[in-house]
Structure 1
């Protein structure tokens, strides 16, 4: 069994990354992405347009990050790349759209930002489509 520099078994780290990917992607999709799809017209009126690109662009960008990228992260496909739009949407939301929020008011957003930044830094782990493709390339 492979040990890391911290003496942890690598499979435990891979399980932790799998858990982060699945739980983070589920929460992002369930709380933010799915409601934007189901209530698209209401969200189009309600969504902020922080860069003046139009509410349609802002909503589609959020849906891309919170639905498409969340799905890619969950299965571990193009994981690090898929984390970037999610991180961008969260940073814009927390620092530009809602700068008045206290940490307590924005804790869900900050926790999602922590989760997806950790995944972007660490990668998807062994239990991912990315890792499966990497193993096939080694053969």
Structure 2
């Protein structure tokens, strides 16, 4: 068994901070307000693919509540990044295509954060180590 070096521990702490900060921001700024005020949000949500407000809002809540919780714990973190990235790309490119980079900077920063987690994984400070086989790396 090899022991983590100082650099390995620093990298794991950095990944923990990156995924935790991104997940908590998304959860508290977008996810929980949608979940806690579902009926009002139904009247406000954009429905760019005409799926219906309920389905569109439910998918947004999945990406902005459940996925950040998975990322925060480090369980299936890479898989959990995918719905978030799709949601962000739809919001930035389809729904708010008129926005400048400055106007959409929060969305672009979240896109950078969750793409980084997708590429790097959650690090060793995650609960995914108890999962079997390939699920450990998802």
Q: Is TM more than 0.5 here?
A: yes
Match of 2:111 in 1: 113
Match of 1:95 in 2: 93
Change (3 A) 1:124 1:134: farther
Match of 2:54 in 1: 56
How far apart, in 2, do the equivalents of 1:15 and 1:89 lie? Answer: 27
Match of 1:9 in 2: 7
Q: Does 1:25 align with 2:26?
A: no
Q: 2:123 aligns with which of 113, 122, 125?
A: 125
How far apart, in 1, do the equivalents of 2:131 and 2:63 lie? Answer: 23
Q: 1:78 aligns with which of 72, 76, 79?
A: 76
Residue ranges of structure 2 left out of the alignment (5+ in a row): 134-138
Post-superposition offset of 1:39: 1.3
Task: Normalising by structure 2, report the TM-score.
Answer: 0.90
* 1:125 and 1:131 in contact (8 A); partners too: no
Post-superposition offset of 1:116: 0.4
Post-superposition offset of 1:129: 1.0
1:58-108 residue CA offsets vs partner (Å, 9 max, x unmatched): 100000000000000000001100110011100100000001001111000
1:35-76 residue CA offsets vs partner (Å, 9 max, x unmatched): 001111111011001111111111000000000000000000
* 1:43 and 1:59 in contact (8 A); partners too: yes
Match of 2:136 in 1: none
Q: Does 1:67 align with 2:65?
A: yes
Which 4+ residue blocks in structure 1 deviate beyond 2 angstroms?
131-135
How far apart, in 1, do the equivalents of 2:55 and 2:69 lie? Answer: 20
Residue ranges of structure 1 left out of the alignment (5+ in a row): none
Post-superposition offset of 1:134: 6.3
